[in-house]
Amino acid sequence: MAEATPSRMTGGLVDEPKVLIVGLGLIGGSLAAALRAAGFGQGGHPGTIVACDPSADEIARGIDMGLIDSGATQLASLVEGASLIVLAVPVLAMQSVMSELAALLPEAQVSGGAPQVVVTDVGSTKAAVRDCALRAFGRLPSGLVLGHPIAGSEKSGVSAANPRLYVDHKVILTPTSETSPGALARVTALWRACGAEVLEMDVARHDQVLARTSHLPHLLAFSLVDTLARQDERLEIFRYAAGGFRDFTRIAGSDPVMWRDIFTANREAVLTALNDFEAGLARLKLAVERGDSDAMLAIFDRASHARHYFDSLLNQTSYQAEYQMQQQGKLTFRAAPGGRVAGRIRVPGDKSISHRSIMLGALAEGVTEVKGFLEGEDSLATLQAFREMGVAIEGPHQGRVIVHGVGMHGLKAPAGPLYVGNAGTAMRLFAGLLAGQAFDSELIGDASLTKRPMGRVADPLRLMGAKIDTAEGGRPPLKIHGRQPLKGIDYDMPMASAQVKSCLLLAGLYAEGETRVREPAPTRDHTERMLAGFGYEVHREGDTCWLRGGGKLTAAPIDVPSDISSATFFLVAAAITPGSNLTLEHVGINPTRIGVINILKLMGADLWLANEQEVGGEPVADLHIRYAPLKGIDIPLDQVPLAIDEFPALFIAAANATGVTRLRGAEELRVKESDRIQAMADGLAAIGVTHTVVEDGIDIVGAGDREIAYGGGRIDSLGDHRIAMSFVVAALRAGEEIVIDDCANVATSFPGFTELARTVGLMVNEERGGSAS
Ligand code: S3P
């Protein structure tokens, strides 16, 4: 018998001297098997499991299989001494079992603050079972805890009992105001011992949720299979049944009696769910009838990505990392020491431009074709958020995305909060864009994003007339009230932030008059360039840019260059390791992004550009770099905003230079995906690099030309993609292995990082482990 996960076993069960399972089918039998696997009644444990079932054969089989100690076909002989009674009978059989039980159990045993006997059930609908209990007991006893394990199988009978049936499955308990906390704790302990995750919900909610997630899909499967099976060409249909239809037949193969009972018991909630479904089906039918391909695409795209999206939303992790984590556990990078880099590579598309391509493409009139789109989690979350607002988006497929623009006023209210994963850019730009819509919206993100400041966009948006609620301290979630007339403002940004600037420009599209933003230092200007590319006039004079609201965007093709922020890891890798010689193709070299090139050159890097050209309004070039000894420098203040995302990697360059590198005026680093000054300082300390942290920067003492610059160690990336990748690069000059934890978020900006890194000589491997929690 397979073992249940030991960590899920609890002491709670040891207190149950006798568990009585009424109905020894698959569900009841599996419960007994799981309890046995968790050690109940085994090896000195005093508990016994008994069962009641109308079939004497099933009882005998249960005893033979070692699942139960004894059993009977009548309840009367079994109730005596039972401390926990589990009703595992079909919902429609519940009334008679409850009545029998009520007659057998002295009232005092199942009532009071600490009931002696606890009764629970496994029925798929809860209101009906609650009503049975009310009729049988005259009221709801405090010892009654209704429950529903969400697990099953097409098999039936005790012979199919599976001790792992509940492992990592959810069990919903539906306590009422009458339920005693002690009884609830005991039933919780029962299911936890079986490896299940226990959740609580109220009865009505449970029935509504299950009507949608379980009952409706079964109803549709039964109906579809039956309809097709009654048509003249049914033999053909079943002969050529392909994957999709086969899945329907699998679901329709479930126990008919059980499902009749469920639909009878949960009639109201099922009918409501069916009405909603019919309305959705009517919309789709209309789209098909009219040949409305945008409407069809919008529905299909949204649906085909729904599962990933909602999994990550529910768990508040980055968009796809959640899925990987569920499958494989937490991600650790192991970077072996030494090596050098050589070759010619192309890193993925620019994250900033990818976000903007979807946003402006969605608001444009016409179809925008995007090439080189970053298929990283952050930009995928942005893409999915627009699908949630009714925009038809095809792809991405090998970097190609087709956005069917809906025009400035064509977005539709999303059905729920928009989830933007790890992306500060998405949340801040969305805030501006959504402030101008005619519907309410809510923006939420993962754990890291939820800690980041949003007051910097909410405050100036409020000055424009927007109504925005934030959580305490100006943190996400952001609740944006629609239908607010916006007016242009003249805004002096307190910090050099392209996200704030872009947010205000996007809101400005919907505002009356001019929206002007002054930046204290130049920041990336992708929004301005792309707006211009879409035919929207954006002006600039010195440090101020502005636009007038009320115009429109016209779709235009977008060619996303490779991300200089991703290229940086390889630039630094080549810059610090003797013998390196690398070319990075088609990298975006927008003047507002090339701080890293300027800084590396100042440090002495042998770096040059070739093949310079302009694609879709953005300059690109191939970057060539060969090893040359680096020297420590004072980083010029004017380069800080131009290299803001590149500092984690530049700190590694500094650790390998001769002399001290000093960074100041970089307090913004403290509010990125992590506090990047502190996170890097902690990592540098772990591998033995001398440094001094100050509020707005850091001094790093470089190793000079020592072959081994520092040691190895274990680094916590704090879920920050750029911290993780920087320490992979650091390993090139380390004396020992560098192990980096919590790396799943690398996929937010650089999917396929380790594979690409290996092709140029970095010795890095991924390791999955730990449990998804
Ligand atoms: C970005 C702007 C920068 C940058 C971020 C992307 C953008 O943030 O750090 O990774 O796409 O506009 P700030 O505007 O907060 O400096």
- To test the pocket of ligand 1, the residue of 352, 596, 748 to mutate (highest count of ligand atoms within 8 Å of its CB) is 352
Q: What is the pLDDT of residue 209?
A: 92
Angle formed by the axes of helices 595-602 and 564-576, nearest 10°: 10
* Judgement on whether residues 555 and 628 belong to the same structural domain of the protein: no
Q: Any residues with CB less than 8 A from the CB of 659 and at least 6 apart, and which?
A: 631, 632, 701, 702, 704
Backbone torsion region of residue 78, taken as left when φ is above 0, otherwise alpha when ψ lies between -120 and 50, otherwise beta: alpha
Considering only the C-alpha atoms of the chain, give the largest distance between any 2 of them, rounded to a whole number of Å: 91
CA distance 110 to 15: 16
Q: Are residues 268 and 394 in the same domain?
A: no
| Residue that is last in its domain, among 220, 247, 272 | 272
Distance CA 92, CA 265 (A): 8
pLDDT band at 324 (very low <50, low <70, confident <90, very high): low
What does the DSSP 8-state code read for residue 214? I
512 falls within a domain: yes
Which pLDDT value is given to residue 69?
96
In angstroms, the Cα distances linking 705 to 252, 568, 652, 659, 762 are 70, 21, 14, 10, 20
Expressed in angstroms and rounded, the spacing between residue 591 Cα and the centre of ligand 1 is 15
379: helix, strand or coil? helix
Residue 242 lies in a domain: yes
pLDDT band at 236 (very low <50, low <70, confident <90, very high): confident
The answer to whether position 643 is within a domain reads yes
Residue 322 lies in a domain: no
Same domain, 548 and 516: yes
Residues 115 and 215 in one domain: no
Tell me the per-residue pLDDT of 593-634, one tens digit each, with 9 for 90 and over: 999 999 999 999 999 999 999 988 999 999 999 999 999 999
Same domain, 613 and 677: yes
Question: Given 645, 720, 741, 742, which residue is catalytic?
Answer: 645
- CA 350 to centroid of ligand 1, rounded, Å: 12
**Res. 13 pLDDT band, cuts 50 70 90:** low
pTM score, two decimals?
A: 0.73
Atom of ligand 1 nearest to the CA of 497: 14
Strands 18-22 and 84-87: parallel
Pocket test for ligand 1, best of 352, 374, 425, 456 (most atoms within 8 A of CB): 425
Alpha carbon nearest to ligand 1 atom 16, residue? 497
Domain stops at, among 535, 559, 583: 559
Which neighbouring-strand residues pair with 296?
none
Same domain for 506 and 374: yes
- What is the identity of the amino acid at 694? V
Given a cut of 80, is residue 311 above it in pLDDT? no
Pairwise CA distance, residues 716 & 730, whole Å? 14
CATH of the domain at 417: 3.65.10.10
Confidence bin at 312 (pLDDT 50/70/90)? low
CATH number reported for the structural domain that contains residue 254 in this entry? 1.10.3660.10
Distance 493 CA to ligand 1 centre (A): 14
Judge whether 280 lies within some domain.
Answer: no
pLDDT of residue 321: 53
C-alpha 304/C-alpha 471 separation (Å) is 32
Say if residue 384 is in the same domain as residue 472. Answer: yes
302, part of any domain: no
Q: Please check whether residues 218 and 197 belong to one and the same domain.
A: no
Tokens 């803001």 belong to 644
CA distance 422 to 679: 17
Q: Is residue 286 part of a domain?
A: no
- Ligand 1 atom 10 nearest Cα: 645
CATH (domain of 124): 3.40.50.720
645 part of the active site:
yes
- The amino acid present at 66, given as its one-letter code, is G
State whether 638 and 745 are in the same domain: yes
Residue 30 sits in the same domain as residue 50: yes
User: Which range of residues forms the domain containing residue 114?
Assistant: 9-201
Q: Would you place residue 235 in the very low, low, confident or very high pLDDT band (cuts 50, 70, 90)?
A: confident
Residues 462 and 610 in one domain: no
Mean pLDDT comparison of 4-13, 323-332, 704-713, highest-scoring range? 704-713
**In this structure, is residue 312 part of a structural domain?**
no
The residue among 536, 559, 582 that closes a domain is 559
Q: How many structural domains is the chain composed of?
A: 4
Distance CA 90, CA 229 (A): 28
Asked if 46 contacts 76 with a C-beta cutoff of 8 angstroms, the reply is no
Same domain for 570 and 510? no
